[in-house]
Amino acid sequence: APFWAVYVDGAVRSADYACDLPVPPEWRGSGLYKQVYQHIEAWSLGRGEDLGFTTVMKGNRAMARIVAGRAGVVPYHHITTMRNFTVHFLFKKRPLPGITIRPATAADIPEMVALWSRLNSQKQFAPFLTVDSFQARLAASPGLAIGDYRLAHHDDRLVGSLALWNQESFKRMVVLKLNGGATWMRRWYNPIARLLGLARFPAPGNTMPYVYATQLCAETAHDLKALYTHVYNESIGPETFFISSMLDVRDPLITALDGFLKQTVDIEVYAMDPYRKWVGHPFNRLPVYFDPAIV
């Protein structure tokens, strides 16, 4: 799909994004993935778009063969590995000293956009934002309001921001079945959750209540950790089972998640190069920005 304007090597340009493609088990191995990605490549060529990006879950061997190319021609170039964090709750955490956190207001938007432009322009495929485009995208985002953003200040200077986004109104995760390990975990975890006032592990057929910590922007890992600690403490309780976020494994901000109870899944990012114009390009000289909450 056409993506909004993004940063590539610090410059603003357009790019396509090949979004997630879940395939039912009975269709796996049928060549459907390959047909769809061939269609995507042809579609990009038809539009004249010479660059895009796509993501593949690490360990997906069928997709790995497709993005490896065919007949010696490689239209996909591996860039980096993103790490998706599922942060679970246990006890409240002590706020980090030296950083104050508060909700954003409409008056903060110009400063938020300026911080985003200064920091995230140095991340490949990060969205390019203006005050107008930020406001338009916020208005088009169900369940997200300016008051859902949290701002980190150090000595009255804005040093970070993120949004806590509950997407239940349009996107839900449903537990279909539990394997042996998950069944065992649910049995011991739920009594503890009940005692601590935490969200319980849902039974099959029920939704998994979670929120995204999205649109991450911070000067340092310490600043992001202060933000994350704040929203963790805000979210702890019976309504939210986990917080989800994603960062490039090479991003210096990734250490902000150290010390949290979490699970991780790795996602591979590839550049789509239908015109073969980007062969050998050093995309990986900068960290990649990819946010599953906005795609």
List the Cα angle 93/235/57 in 5-degree steps: 95
Q: Is residue 83 helix, strand or coil? A: strand
Query: Mind listing the pLDDT tens digit for each residue in 238-268?
Result: 999 999 999 999 999 999 999 999 999 999 9
pLDDT tens per residue, range 38-59: 666 665 566 657 888 888 888 8
**Ranges 10-19, 66-75, 89-98, 190-199: which has the least confidence:** 66-75
Pick 3 or 221 by higher pLDDT: 221
pLDDT in tens, 108-134: 999 999 999 999 999 999 999 999 999
Q: Specify the pLDDT at position 71.
A: 46
Cα 69 from Cα 170, distance rounded (Å): 35
What pLDDT sits at residue 17?
84
For the entire predicted model, the pTM comes to 0.89
CA 104 to each of CA 11, 53, 64, 145: distance values in angstroms, whole numbers, following the listed order: 28, 31, 41, 9
* pLDDT for 72: 45
- Percent over 90 (pLDDT), the chain: 71
Q: Determine the residue type at 38.
A: Q
Q: What is the pLDDT of residue 57?
A: 86
The predicted-structure confidence for 147-190, as pLDDT tens digits, reads as follows: 999 999 999 999 999 999 999 999 999 999 999 888 998 999 99
**Length of the chain, please?**
295
Q: Domain 6-173+208-294, what architecture?
A: 3-Layer(aba) Sandwich (3.40)
Specify the 3-state DSSP secondary structure of 166: coil
- Domain-wise residue ranges, the chain: 6-173+208-294
Q: What distance in Å separates the CA atoms of residue 75 and residue 92, rounded to the nearest whole number?
A: 47
pLDDT in tens, 197-213: 999 999 999 999 999 99
Confidence of residue 275 (pLDDT cuts 50, 70, 90): confident
Distances (CA, A) of 151 to 50, 98, 171: 36, 14, 26
| Cα–Cα nearest to 80, from 125, 17, 36 | 125
Amino acid identity, residue 155? D
1 band by pLDDT with thresholds 50, 70 and 90? very low
Express each pLDDT in 225-239 by its tens digit. 999 999 999 999 999
